[in-house]
Amino acid sequence: MTRTLVLASNNPGKLKEFNELLAPLGFAVRPQGDFAVPEAEEPHATFVENALAKARHAARLTGLPALADDSGVCVNALGGAPGVYSARFAGEPKSDQRNNEKLVQALAAHPDKSAYYYCVLVYVRSDNDPQPVIADGRWDGEIVAVPAGSNGFGYDPYFWLPGQGRTVAQLAPEEKHRWSHRGQALRALVEKLR
């Protein structure tokens, strides 16, 4: 029996990835836009609180189980910034180019360029689920001043993977899914849901 699961996002890449991994568990993942669910507010200072708020919002408005993620890049020399503010680091409207320019400029005087991508996934059975299922993943790298690659989005062209000798934007999509913070979190969530 297939159960419908609402994804608290309309991102087609996330939808495809989540469907591929959750279909064997009997879930059909549908984006919140299919149910006319507007984006939830993300007022919190932590990834887990924002993901939980988004999952509860989607579950409340659909009456279905929901899955949400919150993720971003955390830079050690900047005390973890931009963190939960990664998408809007350079302000509104959202702009990958301005975000990357601001990050490179903020790091210019710091010798430590280490950073990591972080992702939290939250699954709720209902909007008032007292035991949400939570999983996370972390992907370490460094921020570089010169972008490379055309795959991915956001900070990917500036996120260098020393072990790979290339940026995230230079990885094939299947490589990114295998190693990424979101891929790690999704595999951990699947194990918990089993």
- Of residues 135, 16, 123, the one with CA closest to residue 67: 123
Residue 136 annotated to the active site: no
Q: Looking at residue 47, what is its pLDDT?
A: 97
Q: Looking at residue 94, what is its pLDDT?
A: 87
- Of residues 19, 1, 35, the one with CA closest to residue 186: 19
The strand order across the sheet containing 133-143 reads 27-31, 3-7, 66-75, 114-124, 133-143, 159-161, 166-167
Structure tokens at 192: 């918990």
Low-confidence ranges of the chain (pLDDT < 70): none
**CATH code that applies to domain 3-185:** 3.90.950.10
* SS3 state of residue 178: helix
Q: Looking at residue 187, what is its pLDDT?
A: 92
Q: Looking at residue 70, what is its pLDDT?
A: 95
Structure tokens at 73: 């890049």
Q: How many CB atoms lie within 10 A of CB 47?
A: 23
Q: Do the Cβ atoms of 118 and 72 come closer than 8 Å? A: yes
**Helical H segments across 35-115, by residue range:** 47-62, 96-107
| pTM for this model (two decimals) | 0.91
The DSSP 8-state label assigned to residue 82 in this structure reads: B
Q: Looking at residue 194, what is its pLDDT?
A: 85
Q: Looking at residue 2, what is its pLDDT?
A: 86
Structure tokens at 5: 């699961």
Q: Looking at residue 181, what is its pLDDT?
A: 95
Q: What kind and span of H or E run contains 68?
A: strand 66-75
Q: Looking at residue 24, what is its pLDDT?
A: 87
> Which residue of the set 69, 70, 136, 156 is catalytic?
70
Alpha-carbon gap, residue 115 to 96, rounded angstroms: 17
